[in-house]
């Protein structure tokens, strides 16, 4: 029996909410609140007409405004808040949860909307020097809430999507069941799907393009090594997808895994991209369309990347046209009982199967399912403890079981080809 407030009603939220409705032994009442309430109402109508035991309601909220969220929480009185809006809203929603003493869950770590804000920039530049990576997002902002959440007796579960999220649970699972010592982790994110457009992003374009146009980085012996964007390329033959080019990116779980598994010697993250995607992205970057700094256009202030977002297909609309599969997982090497060991834990997800089940493509699906699972484990007490945590800090077994139960079954290959 629990009451959940979900903030955001985009591609990921639509999957997470429908999955919460499948898990009606945990979630009995759910409020969908977002900036555009019509989307929330449409989703509520869709779920209700298909039939559900969960009591749904909707609200409009501006999650950039802490006080508005506090009013909503105080009136709805949820047991937890699932933030599937944008990373820009993480801190305001955490502040509101703290004020109301309600558990908090999200799928992506904080980054600012305005990267020209001098107050943020000063802290960011000090961090770049101190830590050695230049990504706009990092965990420091949210880890800073540790004491406050502990003292309030509430849980914050950060980054329970697929990557971050499941990839960190795979790591905890490998450490618990397969290794005495993990030496290297390669996280591989392959999208073999084709939506038929020359260029589109599979989740929020602004967040996606910021991430992939940034410098890459990986962790080696506890230190960050930074690379130019797309500087390191490998080719890998993915089970059920085939051979793909993949590129080393900075990714947030590297930071959390580096902190929580300090003996791992190297942690890298690779994502596949087709040549058409990279050519379009480079061209857009060269003409300034990926800029996050506002410009004045005919008397209006516009942010180029936000304007681009308005032109690109809505990721939530890609479902009917996307065919093919994703394969996301981690290759671990290390030692067990004094012997070398290597394993690859991965999930394969079919875009069209996701569309048939929930009307979504596989990127939203592979993020929304773990968002529901992490939330369920906090709400039912299995992963509830005071403080701020990532998904590698809890017992992975119940999460792994729920992945099988809710549509993301995984495989352990005990003799994978390694990435050089
Ligand atoms: P979308 O852009 O599709 O959806 C975002 C939703 O948030 C929209 O409904 C939007 O409202 C709402 N929103 C935005 N700003 C506000 C605000 N100020 N107040 C209230 N609501 C707001 O994004 P996705 O669904 O693709 O992504 C959701 C989250 O999931 C992001 O944080 C993303 O980074 C993360 N993600 C994580 C992954 C992982 O594996 N860990 C993978 C993919 C995504 P409106 O409808 O009005 O635009």
CA 256 to centroid of ligand 1, rounded, Å: 22
User: Whole-angstrom Cα distance, residue 268 to residue 257?
Assistant: 11
- Which of 42, 81, 85 for mutating ligand 1's site (highest number of atoms within 8 Å of CB)? 85
The strand pairing partners of 330, in sequence order, are 187, 345
57: Cβ below 6 Å to ligand 1?
no
Q: Could you read off the pLDDT of 75-104 as tens digits, one per residue?
A: 999 999 999 999 999 999 999 999 999 999
Distances in Å between the alpha carbon of 56 and those of 13, 24, 42, 106, 247?
14, 12, 12, 20, 42
Distances in Å between the alpha carbon of 323 and those of 335, 402, 409?
39, 25, 19
- The predicted model scores a pTM of 0.95
Kindly provide the residue ranges of all beta strands, DSSP E only, lying in 96-254, ordered along the sequence: 103-106, 155-158, 181-191, 216-220, 223-227, 233-238, 242-248
Could you list the pLDDT tens digit for every one of the 420 residues in the chain? Answer: 799 999 999 999 999 999 999 999 999 999 999 999 999 999 999 999 999 999 999 999 999 999 999 999 999 999 999 999 999 999 999 999 999 999 999 999 999 988 889 999 999 999 999 999 999 999 999 999 999 999 999 999 999 999 999 999 999 999 999 999 999 999 999 999 999 998 998 878 888 888 888 899 999 999 999 999 999 999 999 999 999 999 999 999 999 999 999 999 999 999 999 888 889 998 999 999 999 889 999 999 999 999 999 999 988 788 899 999 999 999 999 999 999 999 999 999 999 999 999 999 999 999 999 999 999 999 999 999 999 999 999 999 999 999 999 999 999 999 999 999
CA 183 to centroid of ligand 1, rounded, Å: 35
Burial track 213-241 (b if 16+ CB lie within 10 A, e otherwise): ebebbbbeeeebbbeebbeeebebebeeb
CA 12 to centroid of ligand 1, rounded, Å: 7
Domains (ranges, CATH) in the chain? 3-158 (3.40.50.720), 166-360 (3.30.360.10)
User: Whole-angstrom Cα distance, residue 313 to residue 59?
Assistant: 26
User: Whole-angstrom Cα distance, residue 151 to residue 29?
Assistant: 28
């Amino acid at each position: 029996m629990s009451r959940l407030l979900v903030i955001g009603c985009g591609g990921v939220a639509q999957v997470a909410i429908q999955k919460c409705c499948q898990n009606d032994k945990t979630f009995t009442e759910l409020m969908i609140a977002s900036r555009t309430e019509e989307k929330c109402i449409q989703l509520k109508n869709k779920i209700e007409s298909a039939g559900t035991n969960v009591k749904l309601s909707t609200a409009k909220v501006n999650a950039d405004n802490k006080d508005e969220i506090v009013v909503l929480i105080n009136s709805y009185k949820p047991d937890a808040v699932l933030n599937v809006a944008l990373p820009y809203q993480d801190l305001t929603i955490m502040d509101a949860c703290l004020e109301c003493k309600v558990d908090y869950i999200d799928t992506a770590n904080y980054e600012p909307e305005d990267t020209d804000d001098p107050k943020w920039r000063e802290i960011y530049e000090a961090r770049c020097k101190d830590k050695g990576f230049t990504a706009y997002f990092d965990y420091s902002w949210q880890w800073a809430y540790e004491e406050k959440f502990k003292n309030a007796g509430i849980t914050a579960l950060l980054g329970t999507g697929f990557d971050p999220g499941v990839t960190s649970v795979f790591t905890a699972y490998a450490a618990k069941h397969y290794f005495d010592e993990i030496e290297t982790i390669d996280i591989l994110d392959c999208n073999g799907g084709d939506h038929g457009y020359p260029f589109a992003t599979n989740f929020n374009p602004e967040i996606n393009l910021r991430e992939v146009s940034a410098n890459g980085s990986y962790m080696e012996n506890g230190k960050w090594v930074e690379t130019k964007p797309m500087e390191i390329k490998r080719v890998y033959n993915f089970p059920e997808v085939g051979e793909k080019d993949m590129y080393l990116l900075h990714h947030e779980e590297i930071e959390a895994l580096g902190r929580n598994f300090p003996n791992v010697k190297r942690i890298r993250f690779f994502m596949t991209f087709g040549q058409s995607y990279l050519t379009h992205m480079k061209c857009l970057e060269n003409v300034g369309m990926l800029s996050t700094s506002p410009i004045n256009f005919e008397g209006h202030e516009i942010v180029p990347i936000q304007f681009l977002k308005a032109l690109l297909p809505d990721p939530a609309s890609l479902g009917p046209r996307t065919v093919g599969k994703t394969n996301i997982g981690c290759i671990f090497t290390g030692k067990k009982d004094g012997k070398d060991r290597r394993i690859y834990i991965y999930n394969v997800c079919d875009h069209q199967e996701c569309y048939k089940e929930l009307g979504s493509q596989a990127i939203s699906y592979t993020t929304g399912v773990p968002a529901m699972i992490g939330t369920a484990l906090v709400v039912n007490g299995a992963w509830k403890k005071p403080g701020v945590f990532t998904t590698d800090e809890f017992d992975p077994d119940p999460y792994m079981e729920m992945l099988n139960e809710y549509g993301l079954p995984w495989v352990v290959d005990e003799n994978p080809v390694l990435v050089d």
